[in-house]
Every structure is written in structure tokens, then in C-alpha cells.
Amino acid sequence: MKEIEHGFVMTGAEPNKNDGVENREAATGGLDVMLCFAIYGAAHAFTRAYKPLLEPLGLTYPQYLVMMALWAEDGQKVKALGDRLGLDSGTLSPLLKRLEQSGLVKRKRDAEDERQVKITLTPQGVELKERSAGVMEAIGEATGCSLEEVGMLRAALVGLKDRLEGAEER
């Protein structure tokens, strides 16, 4: 138990602790690593926090995101859902199949364009919206963030995501 305090970048070490590394690149690199690890951890923490709330509804967290997209706009195509959620058909196809087996949505080939599949909420799918009302509230409480904090954090993360995705294409 002697080497617990070693300044490992992924723990809560302070940004300015750069043991023996003096060039700027390595220092910033350490910070960015900490950032990506913080996001990694926060994302998992969110999923874990949602899990017990969604379990009574019979939904996983990604399924909940899909249902929210459909509650906002019913009858979307798989492609549109994928664009909005950042998921491809390899993820959505089996997920939607499970939602269909749960009786929450219906999948139907579009008559006008047979390539597309339209996802429609069943009455049970619509009804689930009310039953899920408490979920957002509970999560909001668990975050313990002010509205300003949430807004700023969200904006920063969206900007970060856009820059990361923009960098790929160059």
C-alpha cells in the first residue's frame, strides 16, 4: 500500500503535477487524457444511475433514448433515429427489434420507399411516456447541478463533441 500516491493521471491528481516532464505537449496530453477519462467515467455513472429507474419500465438506457426520440416525434425512420442518436443500423436494428418484442413500437417498411423502415409507437409505447415522467426528475436531483451548471456543461460537451467529430474528417 505504499505506492498509492503516484500521481497517476486518471485519478484525481492535480493538473500541474508533471513529475519530471517539462515539455508542454506531454503536460497537455496528460490533461486531455484526464478529460477523456472523466467523460468516460461520467457517462458510465449516468448509465448506472438510470438503470434502476428504467428497470421498472423494462427499458435500457439506449432504449430510453430511442423512446424519447419517438415521443418527441413518432413515425421516424431508422436513419433519422440513427442520425439523432449517433447510432448506426448495426446498433439500432436489434435494439428496435427488442422494443418491438416488448410491444412498445411497430416496424413497417415504407410504402413509398421500400428501403426505409418507419418506427411507430404502439398505444403501450405512448402510454409509457407518462409512466417515465419521474425518471428525468430523479436524475435531475441526482446530478445536484444548478440549471446554469447543467447548461454550461452541456454546451461545453456538445462543442467538444463537434470538434472531435470535425477533426476526424480532416
Q: Cell numbers 454550461 label which residue?
A: 152
Binding residues for DNA, rule: CB under 7 A, are: 44, 47-48, 51, 60-63, 77-79, 82, 86-98, 107, 112-117
Nearer to a copy of itself, 36 or 127 (CB): 36
Q: Cell numbers 439523432 label which residue?
A: 84
Which of the choices a copy of itself, DNA, none does residue 10 contact, using the CB cut-off of 5 to 8 A by kind?
A: a copy of itself
Closest CA to 60 of 135, 112, 121: 135
Which of the choices a copy of itself, DNA, none does residue 137 contact, using the CB cut-off of 5 to 8 A by kind?
A: a copy of itself
Instruction: Write down the least CB distance from residue 100 to a copy of itself, Å.
Output: 21
Which of the choices a copy of itself, DNA, none does residue 127 contact, using the CB cut-off of 5 to 8 A by kind?
A: none
Which one among 17, 39, 109, 110 touches a copy of itself, defined by CB under 8 A?
A: 39
Nearer to DNA, 70 or 78 (CB): 78
Distance CA 63, CA 70 (A): 11
Site for a copy of itself contains 69 (CB under 8 A): yes
Cβ-proximal residues to 143 (8 Å cutoff; 6+ apart), any chain: 150
Instruction: Write down the least CB distance from residue 97 to a copy of itself, Å.
Output: 21
* Kind and range of the H or E run holding 105: strand 105-109
Which of the choices DNA, a copy of itself, none does residue 56 contact, using the CB cut-off of 5 to 8 A by kind?
A: none
Cα-flanking dihedrals φ and ψ of residue 106, to 5°?
-120, 140
Q: Cell numbers 418527441 label which residue?
A: 72
3-state secondary structure of 158: helix
Alpha carbon dihedral 77, 83, 84, 89, in 10-degree steps, equals 60
Q: Which of residues 71-90 bind a copy of itself (CB under 8 A)?
A: 72-73, 84-86
